[in-house]
Amino acid sequence: MALVPLVAEEDIDATDLPMIEAGEETFGTLLNTWLAIANCPGMFATYLPFIRSVTGPGELDPRIKELTAVYVSLLNHCRYSVSHRCYSALKKGVGEADLERLAAGDFTSFTDRERLALRFTRAITLDLPVTRRQDSVTGVQPELSAKLRDAFAPRELVEFVMSVSLWNALSRFHRVMDLPLDLGNPPAAVDAAV
C-alpha cells in the first residue's frame, strides 16, 4: 500500500496540471509517482522539466545513462524504478539480454566505458553513503576518479553524476512510497534480482 494517497486527476493543482498533461501525453498514462508528487502542489511543475533535462539527449552516451539508471534501481532494490528504467532502456534500444546480464552482475560483454560507468555507479550508490568524509572527501576511490576523468569529458561527467544521483534519489523515493507498478513488470530475470 502506498505511503501517501495518489491524487485523483481531478484534484491535481492547476500549477501542476499542464506538466501532468504533457507527461500523460508522452507516456499514454498518468504515472503513480506523479500522482504521489501531486500531494505537494507546485512540485511537479519543476520536477518533470528537471527529469527531462537530466535524462534527455546530451553528451553522455544514452546507453550508459540507461544501463546505469537500471543498475541504480537494482542496487536500491526498487521494483517500481526497475520497471520504469527497464521500460526506458528497452525503448531506447538496450536489449533484454543486456538487462539480464546487468541484473546478474555479468558485465563482461559491456564496453570498457560501460564497465567503468557501472563500477562508478556502484561506488556512488553503495560506497558513498557509508564512507565518512574523513576517510574520503568525495566518497570515491582516487584511482576510480582518475579513470573517470581520463575516460569522460567534463560535461559527460556532470551528466553522468547527475543522472546516477537522480536515480538514487528517485529509486529511494519510489521504494519508500511503495508505489504500485504502472508500466508493467520488468523482464523476469531482472525482476528476480530486485
- Each residue's pLDDT tens digit, 163-192: 999 999 999 999 999 999 999 999 999 999
Angle 61-52-127 from CA coordinates, rounded to 5°: 60
Mean pLDDT, to the nearest integer, of 82-108?
97
Q: What size, in residues, is the chain? A: 194
Predicted local confidence at residue 8, as pLDDT: 96
Long-range contacts of 169-176 (CB under 8 A, 24+ apart): 170/33, 170/81, 171/72, 171/73, 171/76, 171/78, 171/81, 172/76, 172/78, 173/33, 174/33, 174/78, 174/80, 174/81, 175/76, 175/77, 175/78, 175/79, 175/80, 175/81, 176/3
pLDDT confidence tier of residue 27, bands split at 50, 70 and 90:
confident
Give the rounded percent of residues in the chain with a pLDDT score beyond 90.
97
pTM of the complete model: 0.95
Report domain 62-193's class.
mainly alpha
What are the sequence ranges of the domains in the chain? 9-55, 62-193
- What is the DSSP code (8-state) at residue 137? S
Report the mean per-residue pLDDT for the chain: 96
Q: Quote the cell numbers at residue 146.
A: 582518475
